[in-house]
Structure formats: C-alpha cells, structure tokens
Chain A
Amino acid sequence: MSETGEARLPLTGIRVIDVATVIAAPYCAALLGEFGAEVLKVEHPIGGDACRRFGTPTSRGDTLTWLSEARNKKSVTIDLHRREGVELFKRLVEQTDILCENFRPGTLEKWGVGWEVLRAINPGLIMLRVSGYGQSGPYKDRPGFARIAHAVGGLAYLAGMPKGTPVTPGSTTLGDYMSGLYGCIGVLLALRHKQKTGLGQYIDTALYESVFRCTDELAPAYAMYGTVRERHGPHIESGCPYGHFPTKDGKWVAIACTTDKMFNRLATAMGRPELASSSLYGEQKTRLENRSDVNEIVRDWCGSLTRDELLKRCNTHDAPAGPLNNIADIFGDRQFHSRRNLVAFDIGDQGETVIVPNVIPRLSETPGRIDSLGPALGEHTDEVLSSLLGLGEDELATLREKRVI
C-alpha cells in the first residue's frame, strides 16, 4: 500500500476486515480502501468470495466484477466453519477498526463471532451488517438479493411500460451499491462517535430499505392522498415533455422539461418558440393536460434528426437533453475522459488491461486511489497472518495443510 507522498488519506491507519460476499457490504469496504484504509478480505480457503464467480470471468478465473470491486483489498483465507479459523478471525478482529459482513442474520452468531462476542474482544469495533431484510423484523431470515430488494422496496414496481411487465430498473445490482453507500455513511458516522467516546457500535442496513429510502414522495403521497404510483414507461407523471425519444438514426435521447423555462428553451431549440407561448404549451399545467399531443410533437422532431444533430441544438439553447449512452457511447464520451471516470489497469499475470470505474466521490485535497485490483485468492494470507498475528512458517504450513487457511 503506497503512501504517495501527497496528502495523507483520511482513513490512513484504519484497518477494515471485509468478510462479506459479492457487492453490498464489500462495496463499503472498497470505498474505505479507496480513501486510505487497509482492507483485509477474509475469504473461505476454497473458492473464496462468490463475487469471484459473479458475471464475466477473466482468464485468471476471477470475474471482472471481482477485479473492479475488490480493488485495494488484501485476500486472507480463513475457514470460519473451523474452530481454529474462528480463533484466528477473533485475533484479527481484535486489531481491527471496522468489520463488514453481509451474511444472513444469525450466521456469524452460529460461528461464535456475533456482535456480543466481538464487542467483548474489541470495544471500539464498528461492525457493518448488511442483509436483505436487516437484523430485525419478521423477514430477517429470508435470503435477500438486490433484485428482491428492488421489488420489496417499491422500485421495480415503477419500472416498465404502463400495465406492462415490470422490468429491471437498469441494473440488477443497484440495491447492493446503494446499501454499500449507506453502510459507508454509517461506518464513517460511527468512526466519528468512536473518536469522541472510544466506543464502537454496529450499523444495521437492509438492502430493501436502502432502496425504499430513495423513493421520494411515494410514501407520503400514499399516506396523505391514497395515491398509488404506477409505471409510466419512459415518462413521469409530473412533467412534460419528460422521457426518452428515438432519433432518426435509431438512437435515443432523454429530455427533461420539469419547468416552463426548460420547455421554453426546448421550443427554441426546436425552432418553434411559439410552442412555449401561453396560448399554446407555455405552462406545465397545459402540457400535462395535452400530454400526448406534446409528446407527439417532440417525438416527431426527435425522429427528424440524428442524435448528434439533436443534442447539438439542445446544447446550444441549454435545453435539458442527453444521449441514452450505452457502454460503447460512454467509452467515446469526452466528459467521462475529461473527468477520468475510466481507469485502466494492467493485470500483470495475464498481460491483460482491465478498465474499471474510477473513484467517486472526488475530493480536492485527499483524492482516493486505486493501487491494485481484486487480489488472487489468499494472495496476502501469509503476509497478514505473520505480520499481524505473528504466526511462523511452520504454523502457517500446518494451518494450510488442515485447510484452515
């Protein structure tokens, strides 16, 4: 792990154990690692984190998602089903600030490393617990994945054409990332509390509630007026024109006229400023009443131009429009390059270059870093167990032979 000689990162000196799997809690650990924390990824000696098999494999065997999202981590193999493994794990936790886990509630307890046990070992410990339904409530024991969380949290119901099949809201892992973000906020708040009091705590985050928290006025509107929001396809109920429109070259653009001023600009970009007059569609109320007419006018216009021509006109007049980028578009998009949103890494052992999303958020004085992509299974087991727990070569060999590590 490098000290670059630039500003010390905010989490330098903080040690994190990530015993979680796939993306939810591990993404929190990845964020902490980007900003200086040492992250020890504790994995089962055989197979390791299921994320290594999630999605598209590379020639190394590990998937692309693993390489990207296990960035900066060190892989340490320990079998928590074994008593000796549990002892090693406890000794590691003793020397750690933050523990991230996302097993089904009760799993760590079953292995003898529940909150009460770990807190007794390390009173300052901060423990992030992410699960499908959280640590409490009637569904807590059910298996949970982001897809299920999108459904339970009310997001999936809203994605799709009116009365049509509800679709995946863009990505099946969205809820995992969002829970990782909320988890990271919880961890950073808890670190602050610990600095003041010396005391740790646990953060209990459910996938479904991370999703539900981001549904704007859905709950208050139902409670106050009984409004049940339905699917609106590419549009929304409260603004017009607002949606996705096809262009002459078979591509798509997004247009978002949430205010009259925005529509005025769009009308100007269309070369039809009269559309924004008060006698026609100048007011949102009128546009909403004549939604299909307005959408048709915009759709006709979009269909008469290529995507690039259309965006050029919108941008000239500050009308809110953008391309529906696919990933090939993104790789050719100057904004992404200007902002260094894509960063390439050579995977030395394979002679391949892997391109991954760069660190977000961007901090001016202490920008995050990606020192390495996802490690090979057990790559750092010896290093970590010898330096932190003082195990000798013989002990390591014995543990390895017994498949504890």
Chain B
Amino acid sequence: MHAQEEECAQPGADNLQAGDARPPEPDPAPQPTAGALPLDGVRVVDVGNFLAGPYAASIMGEFGAEVLKVEHPIAGDPMRRFGTATKRHDASLAWLSEARNKKSVTIDLRQKRGVELFVRLVTKSDVLVENFRPGTMEEWGLGWEVLHEANPGLVMLRVSGYGQTGPYRRRPGFAHIAHAIGGLSYLAGFPGETPVVPGTAPLGDYISSLYGVIGVMLALRHKEETGRGQIIDIGIYEAVFRQMDELAASYGLFGKVREREGAGSFVAVPHGHFRCQDGKWVAIACTTDKMFERFSEAMERPELASHLLYGEQRKRLAARDEVNAIVTEWVGARSRDDVMRLCVDKEVPVGKLNSIADIFEDEHFQARGNLATIEEEGLGPVVVPGVVPTLSETPGRIANLGPPLGNATYEVMRELLELTATEIAELRKHKIV
C-alpha cells in the first residue's frame, strides 16, 4: 500500500482473466441517501493505486462525491490483490474496505484511444486523484498542462513518495520508506535496538490522504470563487514529517537528536505501556501532575504525589526508572480488568492495548458505530471501519464496498461520454476499456 509506480498500474495479465473484466450488466449507481451531502454533485476520477491518494477519494465518496475509479482493463488496481484474499477473486479485504463507494471504470492509458477517453472523462470531472511516480502521467500525455487546458477548473491531487519536485522525486516511494525518511521509524523501538514498524505499514498512506482531502476541499473553495483549479502536491514522507511535534524545532535550536524511547516518552513519566498479571497490556499517560496525583490515589499510594517524592513532572522525569518500576510492579500484580477499573474510577488516563479481538468486544466501538457491517453479495457480512469524522447534519455513508472490476464502465461510457453501444463493444474488443 503505497504511492505506486507506473509499472504496477498496468501489469501483465496476472491472475485475472480478461473476461473477468466484463461486467454482466451495467451496474446501477448507488442509491442516494436521505439529506444532501456536502460533496453531492462533485465528480472525482481516482486513477491512483493502493491507498495514498485513493483513500482521499474514498473520504470524498463517503461525503457524497461520485468517485470513478479508473483501472487497467485486465489487472485493475493492484490493491485488489493486496493483503488477505476473499472468495471474490478481484477483491482483497483491503480493497473491499477502502474502495468503498467507488465505481470501477476500465481504461487502458497505454493506448492512444484510452488516453483520449480519459481526457474526456477528466473534462467532465471536478477532481482528479493520482499517485504514479512523477512524470508517468506526463509520459502518457496526461500531464497537468494537458488536463488543465481541457478543464481549467480541474483540481488535481498528486501524491507520491517524495512529491513532484526535489532530487528524489523519481524514486519509488512506499509508506514504509516514507516512515523512514520522515523520521518516524527511527523513533519506534527500544533505545539502541532494532527500529520497528510504527504500528502499521501503510500509516503514511492514510496520513498523506488526509492532507490530500484537506487540499482538495481548499482547492474546491478557491475554484468556486475564481473558476480556477490547481494542483495539490504531497510527498508521503513530508506528510509523516509534519506529524513530528517539536522534533525539528528542538534539533534546530538545541541540537537535540531524539532517540528511540521504547514504550515511553521524553515529555512525561509515567507515560508508557505496562504489562498486567494476565499478560495483557495497558497504556498509562500521566501528562500532568494532576494525572499523576489521581494515579497515586488509584494505586492507594497518595504519598507518591507529594512534593517530597514525585509530585512534579520534573522530579518524575529525573527519577524515570524508579517511577516506572513502581508502576510496573503495581500493574504487574493485577489483572488488566482490575487495573482498568481502579484507574478509571480515579479518572487516570488509561487504556487497554487493544488487539483487534479486544476491539470487537469493546462496547465503546459498538456504541460509536466504528465497526460497520456491510452485506456483500457472495461474501456475506464484511466488517469494515465506519466513517470518520462524524458530522451531525451530514454524516457520511458507505453505499457499497470496493466494486467489481469495470462495474461502471458501460454506464460511464454510455451516459457520461455518450458513446454508442457499438463503439463501446469496439473498445472492449481492443481491450481499451
């Protein structure tokens, strides 16, 4: 899951048969939900692969935009094969979840006629999302100049590993590499030991997509005022780097190089992960003296929060090991449920280190609708993360999961591009769509 490069967009036949690309019938559009959504009437073409950028299109779809996922007629988005497979041969679980609300339109951008069709499609769209290696769209004759001339109001979101400029722009970029370049991976792990993946491999793809949506929303506003579109240019590495609080400022001013901190943090103590008697883990975050005071009460050792002992953050930071040892011992002598109960009673900032199994049992996730169950034909119920953020008047929606390859090709060619059935058949014959 990464900003992808051109080769993967248009690979060989892979494990799909050409015939699979053909939808049996034109697929009806998702039914509009009650109440107008903020992006109703906005059309987005998403020609990206995997997640960095395409997730931005998914969010726009959740809030009303019509999202046309343009894919290679034979292989489609490689995301369809990424991660855990399902019984539906063209849909991995990640595809089903993150291509939500999209319609699939197949066009081969390596054929001249395909490029022409694509330009016509972009002309009828508001937003284009792409994440090829910089220069790839240009090689296909689909650079900004061409598209901007065809549609002066076009908003183009370009996500790539390193952005559209700079010495590394042509390098292949993946979130894993971006976490490393952006300074996040260096900080994950124990001091002096192997740096680990900061939780999940595609985190940077998600984060860059969030910036992408913000850029698109701002650009749409500008377009409505002026009629003019623009480019949003995001490097995954810089989206990651932007998350790094005071890292740059403290090196710049004090020459401080932050190192890996294991389960802790330089800002506060106790602030980390602790193992309970039953082998499960909790996170505790005493960011302020008040929080530590409450925690001392939860431990039934209020004297710890006195000025003589560890009442002040400064003193706790200086006595990090001693304080952590006290907490480790207290937590280690109790089950996770007991630790949670005692801490929650005293309003200590505490949380379970949830595995996904824990999350499915967590009443709060259920109450907030964070797990959405969608019935998918041929697969039964598929559980995916619900829409974030929650808007009170115009909540987002999941109208459908990741579509079958080419499920809207006919509809789009016929209705939007006004081709005849004969022309479409001819395009199919030449595998242009």
Contact = CB atoms under 8 A, between A and B. Distances in A.
A68 B248 CA distance: 10
Contacts of A339: 163, 165-166, 235, 238
Given A170-B184, A364-B233, 4 more contacts: A147-B265, A150-B199, A151-B352, A212-B359
A201 B391 contact: yes
Given A55-B245, A262-B172, A366-B218, A209 B388 contact: yes
A327 B196 contact: no
A168 B261 contact: yes
Interface string A293-334: 000000000000000000000010011111111111011011
Contacts of A173: 243, 245
A10 B219 contact: yes
A384 interface: no
A6 interface: no
A147 B285 contact: yes
B267 A55 contact: yes
A215 interface: yes
Given A205-B388, A320-B172, A254 B38 contact: no
B33 interface: no
A39 to B, nearest CB: 15
B94 to A, nearest CB: 4
Contacts of B243: 171, 173-174, 177-178
B345 to A, nearest CB: 11
Interface in B229-267: 230-235, 237-239, 241-254, 256-267
A203 B283 contact: no
A352 interface: yes
Contacts of B393: 190, 193, 199, 201
A328 B190 CA distance: 19
A68 B241 contact: no
A355 B248 CA distance: 6
Which of A184, A199, A224 has the most chain B CB atoms inside 10 A of its CB? Answer: A224
Contact of B230 (A68, A201, A365): A365
Which of B184, B203, B283 has the most chain A CB atoms inside 10 A of its CB? Answer: B283
Contact of B368 (A23, A171, A209, A365): A209
23 contacts: A11-B218, A11-B221, A54-B287, A64-B253, A65-B249, A134-B368, A148-B283, A166-B273, A173-B243, A181-B207, A188-B213, A189-B38, A216-B97, A219-B385, A223-B382, A234-B189, A315-B171, A327-B251, A341-B241, A352-B253, A362-B215, A364-B231, A365-B219
B257 A328 contact: yes
Interface stretch (B17-25, B119-127, B174-182, B422-430): B174-182
A169 B367 contact: no
A235 B187 CA distance: 16
B75 interface: no
Nearest to B162: A335
A234 B214 contact: no
B162 to A, nearest CB: 6
Contacts of A261: 7-8
Contact of B171 (A143, A152, A190, A318): A318
A136 interface: yes
Interface string A139-163: 1001111011111111111111100
B174 A256 contact: yes
A238 interface: yes
The 6 closest A-B pairs by CB, nearest first: A355-B252, A223-B383, A151-B283, A254-B180, A338-B166, A188-B217
Interface string A250-282: 001110101101100000000000000000000
Contacts of B367: 136-138
A319 B172 CA distance: 7
B212 interface: yes
Interface stretch (A90-98, A225-233, A392-400): A225-233
Interface residues of B, number: 156
Chain B interface main SS type: mixed
Which of B98, B174, B207 has the most chain A CB atoms inside 10 A of its CB? Answer: B174
Given A65-B246, A254-B179, A339-B165, A219 B356 contact: yes
Contacts of A158: 197, 199-200
A210 B385 CA distance: 10
Given A170-B188, A190-B38, A259 B232 contact: no
Contacts of B355: 154, 157, 228-230
B93 interface: yes
A218 B356 contact: yes
Given A203-B389, A335-B167, A341-B241, A138 B195 contact: no
B307 interface: no
A55 B97 CA distance: 38
Nearest to A344: B252
Given A138-B363, A262-B172, A323-B180, A56 B246 contact: yes
Nearest to A221: B84
Given A173-B243, A185-B59, A353-B252, A232 B197 contact: yes
Interface string B347-371: 1111111111111101111011011
Contacts of A58: 253
B84 A64 contact: no
B331 to A, nearest CB: 12
Contact of A136 (B187, B251, B368): B368
Contact of B177 (A232, A322, A365): A322
B179 A170 contact: yes
Chain A interface main SS type: mixed
A188 B214 contact: yes
Contact of B38 (A54, A184, A192, A360): A192
B412 interface: no
B330 interface: no
B227 to A, nearest CB: 11
Nearest to B252: A355
A283 interface: no
Nearest to B372: A219
Nearest to A352: B253
Nearest to B380: A224
Contact of B93 (A64, A196, A221): A221
Contacts of A208: 351
Given A35-B218, A222-B356, A228-B356, A203 B183 contact: no
Given A159-B188, A161-B196, A189 B183 contact: no
Nearest to A242: B176
Given A65-B245, A360-B238, A219 B359 contact: yes
A89 B199 CA distance: 41
B405 interface: no
B320 interface: no
B131 interface: no
B333 interface: no
A82 interface: no
A26 interface: no
A168 B264 contact: yes
Contacts of A256: 2, 174, 176-177
Contacts of B251: 327-328, 331, 355
A7 interface: yes
A202 to B, nearest CB: 5
B413 interface: no
A223 B84 CA distance: 12
Contacts of B165: 338-339
